[in-house]
Amino acid sequence: MTSHSINRLAHDDHDFDVRLEAILERSEGNDPAIEGRVREIIAGVRERGDDALLEYTNRYDRRQAQLADLTIPQAALTAALDGLDAELRAALQDAADRVRRYHEKQVQQSWRYVDDDGIELGQQVTPLDRAGVYVPGGKAAYPSSVLMNVIPARVAGVGEVVMVVPTPDDQRNPLVLAAAAIAGVDRVFAIGGAQAVAALAYGTELVPRVDKIVGPGNAYVAMAKRLVFGRVGIDMIAGPSEVLIVADASADPDWVAMDLFAQAEHDELASAILITADADFAERVAASIERLLPEMERAEIIATALRDNGAIVTVADADAAAALVNRMAPEHLELALADPEAFLPRVRHAGAIFLGHYSAESLGDYCAGPNHVLPTSRTARFSSPLGVYDFQKRSSIIGCNAAGADKLAQTASVLARGEGLTAHARSAEYRRKP
Ligand SMILES: NC(=O)c1ccc[n+]([C@@H]2O[C@H](COP(=O)([O-])OP(=O)(O)OC[C@H]3O[C@@H](n4cnc5c(N)ncnc54)[C@H](O)[C@@H]3O)[C@@H](O)[C@H]2O)c1
Ligand SMILES: N[C@H](CO)Cc1c[nH]c[nH+]1
Ligand SMILES: [Zn+2]
């Protein structure tokens, strides 16, 4: 064992399952203490509106704000964009263009058809009236998350896009504001955490109530979204970042180590796991980790994340690797393999899949085009990347003529009487031919 920085597991260890589950669970964020605090914050905002919003903002973001400071005016967004260094502005614009082009392919259209009985059926697609976008900002600023959240909403045709972003220590991030200008946000509030989610869900005098809240965030944000779901829609639970890399000896150990670091540097709760069937390659990645870690600017965060939620797992073969991938249902899956296409059909659960040595997750995080807001904590088993479809709703369309209604009413009245619902039955029977 050359590595002290990351957990080492072998699939045939007697305690493999227990250790793996412990590692995976740690980053799931189901801490009862967090739930208790978030419930309190939500109740505070519901009951005391802006007073509570301001109080929690000053407490948790270490601010000395007045209520007026919680609104970031459009002029500040434009000024941030105008003040941006040319290279940064071009990069933001390039990323925005790529993200828009990808998401335009996701637009769902309304459709209709006439069935054999002359009944017109269909689905009408409409955008949300108002969406709330959470942009994380506690430990790092995420202009890329502004683009990833707002552009699909705009492509869907959402009426109003309201963005919230925490502003710790009263420091606004100009790149985040510039991204909001490029993406076309309608209103921005300098608030974050559970209090921002509660304000968007219930509305306060300052913050308008939205129909759906989207966007990633830390354990407080994820818990708040869970708790307001039903009152408003939510996209998914997108918590701390995760990467799972399946690699063989054709991969460069330094590239693999850096890709693990890239997600570990987000957060102490981030998860970074390598699976390989090559024990010698596992040793080489472990050595790369030891050598490269001290060079990292965020070495402390990376070291904690690797120690708590990181692992190098050695398995017998590709079948065992595939079974583990689907069990972990990772947010990001890198297939750093000589033949990634051969492995791809085995993958059933993953938020985003990166094929081959050149498809680094970091490229997808910023600018490849697909969304970087992805299901975490194994929710890729039932949930998908954020997309235009999250901002569109569907209404069913049913249009009967007299002949079609006569046909349907026969079936409907029989079933309604079977259910003992006579008003339903008679309503249907009125539509029958005399
Ligand atoms: N899945 C994705 O697409 C994606 C993208 C970017 C970032 N992320 C993840 O988002 C997360 C961002 O987390 P972050 O912390 O940097 O920013 P954040 O905006 O999610 O959280 C900051 C807020 O947390 C609240 N908070 C912090 N400590 C608290 C406490 N003790 N009690 C109550 N509230 C508290 C504060 O209100 C603060 O405003 C990271 O885990 C990162 O991995 C995910
Ligand atoms: N890896 C994060 C979650 O998908 C996205 C991100 C933003 N900036 C850098 N990375
Ligand atoms: Zn990232």
Last residue in a domain, options 188, 208, 236: 236
Question: Is 144's C-beta closer than 6 angstroms to any atom of ligand 2?
Answer: yes
Claim to verify: residue 59 and residue 197 sit in the same structural domain: yes
| Residue closest to 360 by CA, chosen among 383, 332, 329, 339 | 332
Claim to verify: residue 230 and residue 255 sit in the same structural domain: no
Cβ 312 vs Cβ 8: under 8 Å: yes
| Residue closest to 316 by CA, chosen among 275, 260, 355, 274 | 275
Residue nearest atom 35 in ligand 1 by C-alpha distance = 60
User: Model's pTM, two decimal places?
Assistant: 0.95
In 3-state terms, what secondary structure has residue 115? coil
Claim to verify: residue 192 and residue 303 sit in the same structural domain: no
**Cβ neighbourhood burial of 193 (10 Å; 0-12, 13-18, 19+):** buried
Claim to verify: residue 225 and residue 308 sit in the same structural domain: no
Claim to verify: residue 189 and residue 318 sit in the same structural domain: no
Last residue in a domain, options 187, 205, 236: 236
Domain-located, residue 387: no
Task: Determine the pLDDT at residue 27.
Answer: 54
Domain-located, residue 391: no
Which CATH number characterizes residue 170's domain?
Answer: 3.40.50.1980
Token look-up 């094929």 returns: 355
Domain-located, residue 172: yes
Structure tokens at 174: 């100009």
Claim to verify: residue 18 and residue 39 sit in the same structural domain: no
Interface confidence, given as ipTM, is 0.98
Expressed in angstroms and rounded, the spacing between residue 365 Cα and the centre of ligand 2 is 5
Claim to verify: residue 224 and residue 280 sit in the same structural domain: no
Question: Is 142's C-beta closer than 6 angstroms to any atom of ligand 2?
Answer: yes
DSSP string computed for 232-272? BEE-----S-EEEEEE-TTS-HHHHHHHHHHHHTT-TT-EE
Claim to verify: residue 180 and residue 77 sit in the same structural domain: yes
Claim to verify: residue 174 and residue 250 sit in the same structural domain: no
Claim to verify: residue 199 and residue 283 sit in the same structural domain: no
Claim to verify: residue 253 and residue 353 sit in the same structural domain: yes
Expressed in angstroms and rounded, the spacing between residue 219 Cα and the centre of ligand 1 is 7
Out of 92, 135, 266, 366, mutate this one to test ligand 2's pocket (max ligand atoms within 8 Å of CB): namely: 266
Claim to verify: residue 59 and residue 207 sit in the same structural domain: yes
Number of domains in the chain: 3
Is 366 within any annotated ligand binding site? no
In 3-state terms, what secondary structure has residue 388? helix
The one catalytic residue in 332, 349, 357, 372 is 332
Expressed in angstroms and rounded, the spacing between residue 61 Cα and the centre of ligand 2 is 21
Q: In whole angstroms, give the CA distance from residue 194 to residue 234.
A: 14
Domain-located, residue 262: yes
Domain-located, residue 126: yes
Q: Is 331 a catalytic residue?
A: yes
Domain-located, residue 374: no
Is 263 within any annotated ligand binding site? yes
Q: Which domain holds residue 136?
A: 32-236
What's the chain's length in residues? 434
Per residue of the chain (434 residues), give pLDDT as tens: 445 789 999 989 999 999 988 888 765 556 889 999 999 999 999 999 999 999 999 999 999 999 999 999 999 999 999 999 999 999 999 999 999 999 999 999 999 999 999 999 999 999 999 999 999 998 889 999 999 999 999 999 999 999 999 999 999 999 999 999 999 999 999 999 999 999 999 999 999 999 999 999 998 999 999 999 999 999 998 878 999 999 999 999 999 999 999 999 998 999 999 999 999 999 999 999 999 999 999 999 999 999 999 999 999 999 999 999 999 999 999 999 999 999 999 999 999 999 999 999 999 999 999 999 999 999 999 999 999 999 999 999 999 999 999 999 999 999 999 999 999 999 999 999 98
Out of 92, 99, 134, 142, mutate this one to test ligand 2's pocket (max ligand atoms within 8 Å of CB): namely: 142
Domain-located, residue 392: no
Please report which ligand is nearest the Cα atom of 238.
Answer: 1
Domain-located, residue 223: yes
**Could you tell me which residues come within 8 angstroms of residue 166 by beta carbon, excluding any fewer than 6 positions away?**
57, 61, 136, 137, 138, 190, 191, 192, 193, 196
Structure tokens at 398: 């049913």
Out of 26, 27, 218, mutate this one to test ligand 1's pocket (max ligand atoms within 8 Å of CB): namely: 218
